[in-house]
A and B are shown apart, each in its own frame.
Chain A
Amino acid sequence: MTTLTVLPRANATRPMLVAAAALVGAMVVGMSVGPAGIPLATVLEAFAGHIPLINYHPYISTIDWDVLWQIRAPRVVLGGLVGAMLAGGGAAYQGVFRNPLADPYLLGVAAGAGLGATIIIVAGSANLSQLLPFTAFAGAVLAVVMTYLVGASSTGGLTRRSGSGTMTNTSIVLAGVAVAALFTAVQTYLQQQHSPELQNVYAWILGSLTVASWSQVRLILPYVIVSAAVLVAHRRLLDVLRVGEDEAGALGINTARVRLIVVAAATVGTAAVVSVSGLIGFVGIIVPHTVRLVSNASYRVVLPVSMVGGAAFLILADVVARTVESPAEIPIGVVTAFVGAPFFLFVLRSRRAQSGV
């Protein structure tokens, strides 16, 4: 019998390289596709010219550069951040709730952000584009806090040890359903009362990166970085949670505390990105599951690779959204669902065929 000294472990290196390559490819495509018709070579030259310490100065027209730097680049970067956060948040929620259908909107983020956005849209504010992210973010965080308080009050205690009489995953998820229903009801009422604004609300709900700018990137970047860092730091603990609350508890994990921290981080990050992108669906489910299916189910792999893969996926989805009916755009949420669902089914089928399930 062979003697093992280092155990074979889930390794994120290879899937990570694949995801990173996909991300670079997606960024190049995102930068070079658009109504302005800038050739790919020009795009590459333009960026090569801006690499520090390299003495290379190709001729690029000011207009081309502005299109690339002020319009396309922030949109690609924003798409990447949104995709990374939604996919990472989805993976984290699936981990803490041990539910493959969990997505980052499980505890009311979408309903809360939707209500926050609706309020500011129907109020007809003059500074809509500046205020909307804040009200959407506030609504999202408020909804999740309410969910947690309702779930905790029905069973007692936010961070008590697991077991009977303490907050369970089920009670939190049910509270999330209730809070989401409440927020959606209020939002629907407001929409009905202000039918002229209906289309604006609807467009926001379906999600869009149309108005992407560097200021929005700067707005959400800190949240995304902190949230992503916290989630990735919990990858080992999410693996322990896979054996259930009782056994994880017996293995020395305060499951309630881990859940609170992970949910808080995922919520803040998700709330931040949806406040600028609107409610883009499907990313949080498709991307983590695709990673699980094609590489490994350990969160050491799923979390970081989902973030990179999610970024690539959303950048490409945005390219599709703005080219299909160019120069008009279709909502990116439609694209993620339309492209993502069949792709996911394809992956699922091919994996099943391989493993003979």
Chain B
Amino acid sequence: MITLEELAVCYGDNGTSTLALSGVNEKVGDGEWVGLIGPNGAGKTTLLRSIVQLIPHEGRTLVDGQDTRALSRRELARLIAYVPQKPELPPEITVSDYVLLGRSPHVGYFGVEGAHDHAVCAALLERLELSSMAERHLGTLSGGELQRLVLARALAQEAPVLLLDEPTSALDLGRRVDALEIVDALRREHGLTVLSAMHDLTLAGQFADRLVLLSDGKVVASGRSDEVLNEALLTTHFGLHVQVLRTGEGDLVVAPRRRGASPQGPEERGEPMSDEHEAVSDEAVSDEAGREAEPEEVAAPGVRVPSLVLVNTGHGKGKSSAAFGVMGRAWARGWTVGVVQFVKGGKWQVGERKLADHLGIEWQVLGDGFTWESTDLDETAAKGRHAWSVARAKLASGAYDMLILDELTYAVSYGWVPVADVVAGVLERAPKTNVVITGRNAAPELIEIADTVTEMTMVKHAYERGIKARKGIEY
């Protein structure tokens, strides 16, 4: 019914143009409902508007075998009914006057609507339960009533193709499902072909026969909902971790993950890093936090769960140890793991380092030992910045399943690395890379982007009982 051939749309002219759509080839069959999904700016609205000839485009759009560019506006309007995302709803116009606008393509230039036009519109008002408000003004209708009214006007065109741009964006959940069910019922009654841009991915999967995922003006996936509603695809193109769950009835539910979930709260920060003993003995033997940080595989085989950001902070012991525990578990799963140490180095080597060397885990020590022993603070700061640039490149590279950024928070709290840089680096990481950040005084911005925050508070420590650091057991 609808065929798009090499559809391309370019906004702006000479020099500063933006490609809003490019190389779109799609077919929507007779009576099919295809849902267009994709992030804001992906080109969903542009695609719909170019089909109905509201914007100039390259390539061809065929509807019912006819090139839409060769049709007059009237002919086009008898073939396609288009409902924009935010229809103009003049508040002082009446319901019946509004629905009759849909008859425009069937009324002559100087003509007025006749008995048949009235009958068509009256039947639609009745079908959509709007008859009782025929004389009311649009300004007095509720959101759900207006939604039905807009559909009634579109159907009054008696066009075989219905293009809907976010038909339910202004409605609450109940009205949203109502509206989509009406569209579904009407398309079956009238044999309509429906192409609709949809924001709600779960509802898109439930109602549309097929989904087309647009991103940056290109079709990146097209197929049945279980093919397109894929965690890796959605995570990549929406820039947000999502989980796709399957209900008992076999429906797919797309669950976005909060970016700023912090179950333990970022309290007890603000303490300056001045306690040598504390810092020296940061690497306790325990790895109790490891189990908490372990990602669970819940998705179908071959699709990895979206990566996590873990922050181990607090003023107790075990932050780094917990991170290294996670390192070991990740290695055991066959993951590629990398470690960057931001502060400790030289004579301060942790025991896990040997384990990492033994297992072949990449481990870079980029700090210069403890800062307060540094003789040249500028050099120390430069080293911290260098360490961050190395870490940032690794984050973006996509080569790692997990990166441990040990004691990164110190580089931030000393002002060597701006926290905004760290946040950006973490958010812009390769989608599969899990990140573990440790150190005291984690900045609120870091806590905000973490999926899990583990706060260590006053774990009992051997040092306090007079047991000095020994070779092999560094505190």
Q: Which residues of A contact B (CB under 8 A)?
A: 1-10, 161-165, 233-234, 236-237, 239-240, 242-244, 246-254, 292, 297-298
Q: B131 and A1: CB pair below 8 A? A: yes
Kindly list chain A residues whose C-beta atoms are within 8 Å of the C-beta of B74.
Answer: 252
| Contact mask for chain B residues 87-100; partner A; CB cutoff 8 A; 1 contact, 0 none | 11110111011011
Least CB separation from B125: chain A residue: A4
Given contacts A8-B96, A243-B88, contact A252 B54 (CB under 8 A): no
Q: State which of A3, A7, A164, A239 has its C-beta within 8 Å of the C-beta of B55.
A: A164
Given contacts A3-B122, A8-B96, A249-B73, contact A243 B87 (CB under 8 A): yes
Judge if B102 is at the interface, Cβ distance under 8 Å: yes
Kindly list chain A residues whose C-beta atoms are within 8 Å of the C-beta of B92.
Answer: 292, 297
CB of B167 to closest CB in A, whole Å: 14
Judge if B388 is at the interface, Cβ distance under 8 Å: no
Tell me, in angstroms, the Cα distance from A105 to B72 when the chains sit together: 33
Tell me, in angstroms, the Cα distance from A292 to B126 when the chains sit together: 29
Given contacts A7-B118, A240-B101, A252-B76, contact A247 B88 (CB under 8 A): yes
Q: Among B26-34, B59-67, B103-111, B317-325, which stretch is in contact with chain A?
A: B103-111
Q: State which of B105, B113, B121 has its C-beta within 8 Å of the C-beta of A252.
A: B105
Given contacts A9-B96, A242-B93, contact A251 B134 (CB under 8 A): no
Judge if B351 is at the interface, Cβ distance under 8 Å: no
Judge if B364 is at the interface, Cβ distance under 8 Å: no
Given contacts A1-B126, A10-B97, A251-B105, 9 further A-B contacts (CB under 8 A): A4-B126, A161-B73, A236-B111, A239-B101, A251-B101, A252-B72, A252-B77, A253-B104, A297-B93
Q: A246 and B54: CB pair below 8 A? A: yes
Given contacts A243-B87, A252-B78, contact A161 B53 (CB under 8 A): yes
CB of A297 to closest CB in B, whole Å: 4
Tell me, in angstroms, the Cα distance from A3 to B135 when the chains sit together: 14
Q: Which residues of B contact A (CB under 8 A)?
A: 11, 13, 49, 52-56, 72-78, 80-82, 84, 87-90, 92-94, 96-97, 99-102, 104-105, 107, 109-113, 115, 118-119, 121-122, 125-126, 129, 131-132, 134-135, 157
CB of B425 to closest CB in A, whole Å: 37
Q: A7 and B134: CB pair below 8 A? A: yes
Kindly list chain A residues whose C-beta atoms are within 8 Å of the C-beta of B49.
Answer: 163, 246
CB of A355 to closest CB in B, whole Å: 9
Kindly list chain B residues whose C-beta atoms are within 8 Å of the C-beta of A2.
Answer: 131-132
17 pairs, CB–CB < 8 Å, chain A vs chain B = A1-B132, A5-B119, A5-B122, A6-B115, A7-B118, A7-B122, A239-B97, A242-B90, A246-B49, A249-B54, A250-B54, A250-B77, A250-B81, A252-B77, A253-B104, A297-B92, A297-B93
Q: State which of B90, B96, B131 has its C-beta within 8 Å of the C-beta of A243.
A: B90
CB of A137 to closest CB in B, whole Å: 27
CB of A240 to closest CB in B, whole Å: 5
Q: A7 and B121: CB pair below 8 A? A: yes
Tell me, in angstroms, the Cα distance from A297 to B139 when the chains sit together: 13
CB of A167 to closest CB in B, whole Å: 14
Kindly list chain B residues whose C-beta atoms are within 8 Å of the C-beta of A240.
Answer: 101, 104
Given contacts A163-B54, A236-B107, A239-B101, contact A250 B82 (CB under 8 A): yes
Tell me, in angstroms, the Cα distance from A253 to B77 when the chains sit together: 9
Least CB separation from B82: chain A residue: A250
Tell me, in angstroms, the Cα distance from A242 to B72 when the chains sit together: 21
Q: A164 and B118: CB pair below 8 A? A: no
Q: B54 and A243: CB pair below 8 A? A: no
Tell me, in angstroms, the Cα distance from A233 to B112 when the chains sit together: 10
Tell me, in angstroms, the Cα distance from A247 to B113 when the chains sit together: 18
Least CB separation from A8: chain B residue: B135
Q: Which 9 pairs from chain A and chain B are nearest by CB?
A: A252-B77, A252-B105, A7-B96, A4-B122, A252-B74, A250-B82, A251-B104, A244-B88, A297-B92
Least CB separation from A166: chain B residue: B56
Tell me, in angstroms, the Cα distance from A7 to B134 when the chains sit together: 7
Kindly list chain A residues whose C-beta atoms are within 8 Å of the C-beta of B100.
Answer: 7, 9
Tell me, in angstroms, the Cα distance from A237 to B49 when the chains sit together: 22
Q: A247 and B115: CB pair below 8 A? A: no
Tell me, in angstroms, the Cα distance from A247 to B121 when the chains sit together: 18
Kindly list chain A residues whose C-beta atoms are within 8 Å of the C-beta of B75.
Answer: 252
Q: A243 and B101: CB pair below 8 A? A: yes
Kindly list chain A residues whose C-beta atoms are within 8 Å of the C-beta of B11.
Answer: 164
Kindly list chain B residues whose C-beta atoms are within 8 Å of the C-beta of A164.
Answer: 11, 55-56
CB of A258 to closest CB in B, whole Å: 9
Given contacts A6-B115, A163-B55, A164-B56, contact A247 B122 (CB under 8 A): no
Q: B90 and A3: CB pair below 8 A? A: no
Tell me, in angstroms, the Cα distance from A5 to B114 when the chains sit together: 11
Kindly list chain A residues whose C-beta atoms are within 8 Å of the C-beta of B134.
Answer: 4, 7-8
Q: B102 and A251: CB pair below 8 A? A: yes
Given contacts A162-B54, A242-B88, A244-B88, contact A9 B97 (CB under 8 A): yes
Q: State which of A3, A239, A292 has its C-beta within 8 Å of the C-beta of B131.
A: A3
Tell me, in angstroms, the Cα distance from A237 to B84 when the chains sit together: 20
Least CB separation from B78: chain A residue: A252
Least CB separation from A300: chain B residue: B112
Q: B73 and A252: CB pair below 8 A? A: yes
Kindly list chain B residues whose C-beta atoms are within 8 Å of the C-beta of A1.
Answer: 126, 129, 131-132
Kindly list chain A residues whose C-beta atoms are within 8 Å of the C-beta of B132.
Answer: 1-2
Q: B78 and A161: CB pair below 8 A? A: no
Kindly list chain B residues whose C-beta atoms are within 8 Å of the C-beta of A6.
Answer: 115, 118, 122
Given contacts A7-B99, A8-B135, A239-B101, contact A233 B122 (CB under 8 A): no
Kindly list chain A residues whose C-beta atoms are within 8 Å of the C-beta of B77.
Answer: 250-252
Tell me, in angstroms, the Cα distance from A9 to B132 when the chains sit together: 14
